[in-house]
Structure formats: structure tokens, C-alpha cells
Amino acid sequence: MVSVVLRLAVGAFAFILATAPVVAVAADGQTLFLDNCAACHRPNGVGVPGAFPSLKGSKIAQGDPKEPISRVLKGRGGMPSFQTELTDQEIATILTYVRGAWGNKASPILPAQVAAQHGGHRDNAKASLLAH
């Protein structure tokens, strides 16, 4: 009986360890979203009608990754450009969060996809500081 309980406990612990990085990435995306995007798009992703679009259920947010990446990098309308404010990793993490939050169901975005839209290189003060 003790052996069965021990095996179950070890199995549960292994499962927690295996899934912990996924939870951490999601939390980082949510935190980054709240810190950089929620003032306009609201913490629940519904935006402000007539001013800031909803990301919840957004065809753009869930569509071809190039479009949301471009909007975050270049800005649009009242949205600022984040290309010098956030690293490629941070942008990918935020967009991955948005594409999976509030019932959205889209594939993750990789930092390499963001970098490709930067032309594969970037002179970013924040990214440079993080590298040192």
C-alpha cells in the first residue's frame, strides 16, 4: 500500500515539474500584457469601444501571426510602437498570451517570428541591456 501511494506521489510530482514551465510562460505573458497593454485593451481583453479594439475573439489577434506582430512593432492609430520598448521575446510572450487568453485559440508566436519582422536584427537599448 505504501509503495502505491509513493508511486502516485512521485508521479504527481513529476507531472507538476513537467508542466511548471508552461504555467510560468503563461504567467509571464499575462504579467507583460497587464504591464504594457491592459491600460488600453483592458485586463479582460475587451478594449474600449470606439477607442481601443477588443483582443478577445479578435480575428486579427488570432489570425496570421505577421499582422499582430506588425501592429505591436509599428503601432497603429493610437497604439504606440513597442519595437524599442520590448524585446522580441517579450513581444512573442505577450502575443502568445493574447492568442490563448479569453477563449482565443491560436498558435503561439515565437521570438524568431518577431525577429524576422525586425529584419533579423535590432538595435534595441533594452535588449542590449538585457544581454549584458
What tens digit of pLDDT does each residue of 19-35 get?
444 444 445 999 999 99
Average confidence score pLDDT of the chain: 81
CATH class of residue range 23-131:
mainly alpha
Amino acid (1-letter code) at residue 97? Y
pLDDT band at 14 (very low <50, low <70, confident <90, very high): very low
Mean pLDDT of the 4-10 span:
47
- Sequence-distant (≥ 6) Cβ neighbours of residue 106 within 8 angstroms: 61, 62, 63, 99, 100
Q: Is 102 helix (H, G, I), strand (E, B) or coil?
A: coil
Q: How far apart are CA 126 and CA 113, in angstroms?
A: 19
pLDDT of residue 107: 97
Rg (CA), the chain: 18
Q: How far apart are CA 52 and CA 39, in angstroms?
A: 10
pLDDT at 131 over 60: no
More confidently predicted of 129 and 38? 38
